[in-house]
Every structure is written in C-alpha cells, then in structure tokens.
Chains A and B, each alone.
Chain A
Amino acid sequence: MSERRTIEIATLARVEGEGALHLTVEGDRVIDLRLEIYEPPRFFEAFLRGRAASELADLVARICGICPVAYQMSTLHAVESIFQITLHPSVRALRRLYYCGEWIESHLLHMYFLAAPDYLGLDDGIAVARSHPGEVERGLRLRKLGNRIISLLGGRPVNPVGACIGGFSRTPTRAELGELAEQIVRARGEAEAALRFFASLPVPSRPQAIELVSLRHPSEYPMNEGRIVSSTGLDIEAAEFATAFSEHQVPHSTALHCRRMDGGRYLVGPLARLLQNSDRLSPAALAARESVAARLSSPDPYASVFARAIEVIYAFDEALRVIRAFEPPPAPAAEFTPRAGVGHGATEAPRGLLYVRVETDDRGYVSAIRIVPPTAQNQDCIEADLRELAPGVLALPHEEARRACEMAIRNYDPCISCSTHFLTLEIERRSPA
C-alpha cells in the first residue's frame, strides 16, 4: 500500500518575495501540487489608471526593487509607440546600457546569494561568503558596476528615476561614461572567472521539453526591442502578445498564470533568451558559452545559472561597446505630444520577457494598463517541473526533499514581489483510502 505524503514549504527561502509550495503525493503519484503566491495583490494595473503617462516610469519602477529598469523600459516603449516617438540613436544606446546595469546587478545577486548556496550545500549567501570569500567578493565587485550604471542613468540605484518618455531626464557626460568604462575594463575579466566558478560546482541536470519564449532582434542580443519568438516557431510583434498568450487566475495564487493560447506552458528568462539568441552574443560571451556548451545542448532549467553568467559577460561587453561608441544626443529626451492610443512594450527583464500594454486618452492619461511579468509566465513551468521532480525526491528526508524542491524553483529565479512574492514547502504523503 502506498503512503500519501504532504510536503509543505510554508515560506520559500532565497527567492524574491513570499510564497509557499504545497505538494501531496500518494506513492510516487503527485495528487496535488500548488505553488502558492500569497503575497497580497498590489493593484498596480488598477491604480495606474487615470495617471498621466509621464508619471508611469517612476511609478512602475516601484513594482520591483531588483528589476525596476525592466518595468520602466517595457512601459516607456509602450507609451512611446502611442506618442509616436522615435528615440535618438544615442538615447536608444543609453537605454541598452541601462538594461546592462540591471542584468549585471540582478544576475549576480541571484548567482552568488540565491543559487550558490544550493550547489555548495550551504544555508545562505553568508555561509558561502565564509567558505568562498574571494568568490563572493568577486560577485560583489561585479555587481557594484551594475549599480553604478543604474545610478548614472537612473539617478540612484534603488527605484531609479532617470528614465522618462523619449529618453532620460539627463544625459551622462563623457567623463562619467569614461570613468565607468575604466572600471568595467578593470573588472571585465572577473566576469569570466565567475562563470568558471559556477561551472566548477556540482550543478544538477534535468533537461525538459519546454517551449522557449524570448525576444529576437535582427542584429542584437535582445533587450529593448525585437519580435517575440519561440522554439516552436512563434514569431510575432509585441502588439500581438494577446493573440498568442493568455492570463488565467488560479485559486492558490495572487499572481495570474500565463499560458499559450493552446494551454501550453512556456519558459521565459535567461536560458530561453540565450538558447534562442546565442548567435547575437559578443565574441567573448560566445566563447564563454562554448566552455559550457554541453550544459546548454537542450533546455535544462538547472543550466539557467550558466545562462546568467554568460549574460553577465555579454552585458559588460555591451556596456563597453555602447560607452565607446557614444555620441551625446542633442537632448536627453525627445519632445512629445500626448495622444490617445494603444501601445505595446516587450523587453527582456533579467527574469525574462516583460510585456506591457498601455492605453491612453487624448490628454495622454492612462485609461488601461496591463503588465505581464516574467514570473507570472513561468509559474506553470515551475509547477510542471516540480510535478516531474516530486516522485524522485519523496524518498528523501523532509529537509532534503524541501531543498530539492526549492532548488528547482530557484532555477527560475522567481520574483514573486513582481508577479504580485515567494516559498513556504508542504509535502502531504497520504495513504490511499
């Protein structure tokens, strides 16, 4: 007779926000699995209605302390398409630099403080700092450069305020950019060392058949622009998002689940982005990718940490490229006239595709806004991943089972505060009646 067992993780550790996992199994059969996002809903989409579009960038930056730039970028691109604004090429390049800063900061925080303890069998980043101080110092040094980029363009590292409709409220000086470039050049080699460190760790492997979704740009590694493409052939404009994806409410989560129209799950994030855009990497990032090519031959959520490390290398290269090619724009931001209309923005947040739809009235006030964060899109993948993992870990003692589940969840670097936060594990093992 098979036993029914429930694993409850009442508060997931080392994820961004507050959530829980409830898992009930009978024998090796998963009876119930719920990734519970119990963070209270935040009603951003409701209270942004009636606001001037010009206020949006500062307001949406408050959605997330880790990826404010992403919310600003998707929202601004949506608004700029309504107001028919074409960004000056230099401003457009600065937006890429701004995004590089966020990828660097977010990825390194995840790699060293959230993920590394998993591979080292330690409880937290502080224990990693104790056992591998040199590595953690490296992570902190690299991350600080991400902060510098965001502070330079956003005015401050937390909830930056510098981005606005048409560009930025201020253009950095050549001297400021030059100083930043020097710091990047000095630290640049350490980004490769970071990948080598993670590649040396016992990172598990469990490839899965998942549809990968990311942006794809004709010539660049995608950040602010591109078509939404998938590994199964989807190829659409951001404006067509609603024709391919739909959001659903589920009783156990305050975050909406996002699925393909046919109900299928899909993966967004660094792994999806990298696997679909490797040919757009910088030469050094591509060489770095080659060094871990065996881990990237098929979609494996555990390999996400390598994708992040490779994207950090890319982000440093791209930041340097932008700075070196920089010509000051005639104005920090393009002039604009508010208009009524509907605009769509899809950009690549550190955690993946972030879609925003904005509707304005003729005064340029927001009449509707829809924000689809990456974590909401990955929830189904996380649940499916756990459903597959669960039977294999149930024989383990509770603490080890909890660790294995949390580790699988952390591969997605879920940002629960964004998608509404994260994890408390509940495993219920029941004997069949």
Chain B
Amino acid sequence: MRIKVIGLGSPNGDDAIGLEVARELSRETLPGGAAAVVCDRPGVDLLDELEGIDAAVLVDALRSGASPGSVRVLSPAQLARGPALSSHALGVVDALALAAALGRRRPALRIVAVELEAERGEGLSVAGLAAVPEACRRVRTLLAELSGQADFETD
C-alpha cells in the first residue's frame, strides 16, 4: 500500500493551511508509512504526485461559509468544478478531472478541508492556526483507515 499526504495551497493567508499541515506531519512517522508532501500550487503537477500510489489524503483550505477553522473530510465527488480552466487557477478539482479525462488510474482519495478565514496576508489566521492540530488528527485517522490499520491511532 503506497500512501501519501499531499498538503495543497499557497503562502497567502489561510490558503497555507494545507501546506502547514503537511509540514507538521512530515516530522512524524505516519500510519501506513505514508509520506507527507508540501505542494505549493501544483496545478497540473498534482497529476504526477498522484502517480504510483494507492491512496492519498489531500489537505486544502476551503471556502464554504462554515465557521473559520472548522475541519471537514470530503470525498472527491463532493467537490464541485468551477468555471473554465485557466492555468493560473488550475485547482484540485480540475487536476482530478484532467487525470480522469486522461484515463489515469486514480488512487483512493480523501480530502481534509479546513475552512479559511483570511485569504490573504502573511501567515495563518488565529482560526487557521488553531485548526492545524485537528486537521493533523483527521489526516492520521484517514491514513490509518486507508492503510487498513484502523486500530492504529484513531483518535
């Protein structure tokens, strides 16, 4: 079972939550021997990150109107595709749609999404920062489930 945590985002405000969670998790031994990678705005390069693995947990910031810092686990089917593709804004959903269109085998995916507060600025907002431990916990749980080790650190 080859498994990965992919932290997505950019250094702008709470958009860095995914990057921060991956950085945090890269310092520990993760369930299933998962590797944590920090992916700053990968665009189409997300396709390469998803090659050769069986499962991945993507961590990204989300804007849904929920309270800032709230953490949710989503399935790929729950993500809606936005308007036309532009290369500056090729998001996770576009990259997954592109992979599907190319007929690439897609690993099992879960998305840990953290509601953002600040879209711009340097560093995470208070709510964003406070959500990092919870997001890390959710990732560990998912990794354990995905790697078939559900009894391994599930809280």
Residues on A lying within 8 angstroms of B by beta carbon are 11, 13-17, 65-66, 109-110, 113-114, 123-127, 129-130, 133, 136-137, 140, 143-144, 147, 156-159, 417, 421
Q: For A129, list chain B residues within 8 Å (CB).
A: 98, 101-102
Take A140-B47, A147-B45, A158-B40 as given contacts and tell me if A130 and B87 are in contact as well, using a CB distance cutoff of 8 Å. no
In the complex, the answer to whether B87 meets A137 with C-beta atoms within 8 Å is no
Binds A, one of B78-86, B106-114, B130-138: B78-86
Closest to B39 in A: A158
In the complex, the answer to whether B85 meets A16 with C-beta atoms within 8 Å is no
Contact of A124 among B42, B47, B84 (CB under 8 A): B84
Interface contacts beyond A113-B87, A126-B94: sample of 5 additional A-B pairs, CB < 8 Å, sorted by A: A65-B41, A113-B44, A133-B101, A144-B45, A158-B40
Q: A243 to B139, alpha carbons, bound, how many Å?
A: 59
In the complex, the answer to whether A14 meets B44 with C-beta atoms within 8 Å is no
Take A143-B44, A157-B45, A158-B40 as given contacts and tell me if A123 and B88 are in contact as well, using a CB distance cutoff of 8 Å. no
Any chain A CB within 8 A of the CB of B97?
yes
| Cβ of A39 to closest chain B Cβ, rounded Å | 11
Contact of B88 among A66, A144, A147, A157 (CB under 8 A): A66
- Which residues of B (52-102) have their CB < 8 Å from a CB of A? 83-88, 90, 94, 97-98, 101-102
Q: For A114, list chain B residues within 8 Å (CB).
A: 86-87
Q: A428 to B40, alpha carbons, bound, how many Å?
A: 41
Q: For B151, list chain A residues within 8 Å (CB).
A: none
In the complex, the answer to whether A16 meets B88 with C-beta atoms within 8 Å is yes
| Cβ of B145 to closest chain A Cβ, rounded Å | 30
Q: For A113, list chain B residues within 8 Å (CB).
A: 44, 85, 87, 90
Contact of B103 among A16, A17, A126, A133 (CB under 8 A): A133
| Cβ of A402 to closest chain B Cβ, rounded Å | 12
Q: A109 to B40, alpha carbons, bound, how many Å?
A: 18
Q: A123 to B83, alpha carbons, bound, how many Å?
A: 10
| Cβ of B61 to closest chain A Cβ, rounded Å | 17
Q: A16 to B90, alpha carbons, bound, how many Å?
A: 11
Most buried by A among B40, B85, B86: B86
Q: A156 to B45, alpha carbons, bound, how many Å?
A: 12
In the complex, the answer to whether B48 meets A144 with C-beta atoms within 8 Å is yes
In the complex, the answer to whether A158 meets B88 with C-beta atoms within 8 Å is no
> Between A and B, how many residue pairs show CB distances below 8 Å?
63
Q: For A11, list chain B residues within 8 Å (CB).
A: 83
Take A126-B98, A126-B101 as given contacts and tell me if A13 and B84 are in contact as well, using a CB distance cutoff of 8 Å. yes
Q: A109 to B94, alpha carbons, bound, how many Å?
A: 14
A-B contact pairs, 11 of them (CB 8 A): A65-B41, A66-B88, A113-B44, A113-B90, A124-B85, A125-B98, A129-B98, A133-B103, A136-B98, A137-B102, A159-B40
Q: A113 to B86, alpha carbons, bound, how many Å?
A: 8
Contact of B84 among A14, A16, A66, A159 (CB under 8 A): A14
Q: A204 to B87, alpha carbons, bound, how many Å?
A: 23
Contact of A16 among B42, B87, B97, B98 (CB under 8 A): B87
In the complex, the answer to whether A125 meets B85 with C-beta atoms within 8 Å is yes
Q: A123 to B85, alpha carbons, bound, how many Å?
A: 9
Closest to B87 in A: A109
| Cβ of A270 to closest chain B Cβ, rounded Å | 16
Take A65-B41, A137-B102 as given contacts and tell me if A16 and B48 are in contact as well, using a CB distance cutoff of 8 Å. no
Q: For A15, list chain B residues within 8 Å (CB).
A: 86
Q: For A17, list chain B residues within 8 Å (CB).
A: 86, 88
Q: A156 to B11, alpha carbons, bound, how many Å?
A: 14
Closest to A143 in B: B44
Closest to A144 in B: B48
In the complex, the answer to whether A417 meets B88 with C-beta atoms within 8 Å is yes
Q: A82 to B45, alpha carbons, bound, how many Å?
A: 38
Closest to B81 in A: A126
Q: For A110, list chain B residues within 8 Å (CB).
A: 87
Q: A35 to B95, alpha carbons, bound, how many Å?
A: 29
- Which residues of B (1-54) have their CB < 8 Å from a CB of A? 40-42, 44-45, 47-48
| Cβ of A100 to closest chain B Cβ, rounded Å | 18
Q: For B41, list chain A residues within 8 Å (CB).
A: 65, 158
In the complex, the answer to whether A123 meets B84 with C-beta atoms within 8 Å is yes
Q: For A417, list chain B residues within 8 Å (CB).
A: 88
Q: A343 to B41, alpha carbons, bound, how many Å?
A: 33
Most buried by A among B47, B48, B88, B90: B88
Contact of A126 among B85, B86, B87, B88 (CB under 8 A): B85
In the complex, the answer to whether B102 meets A136 with C-beta atoms within 8 Å is yes
Contact of A65 among B83, B88, B101, B102 (CB under 8 A): B88
Q: For A130, list chain B residues within 8 Å (CB).
A: 101
Contact of B85 among A14, A147, A157, A421 (CB under 8 A): A14
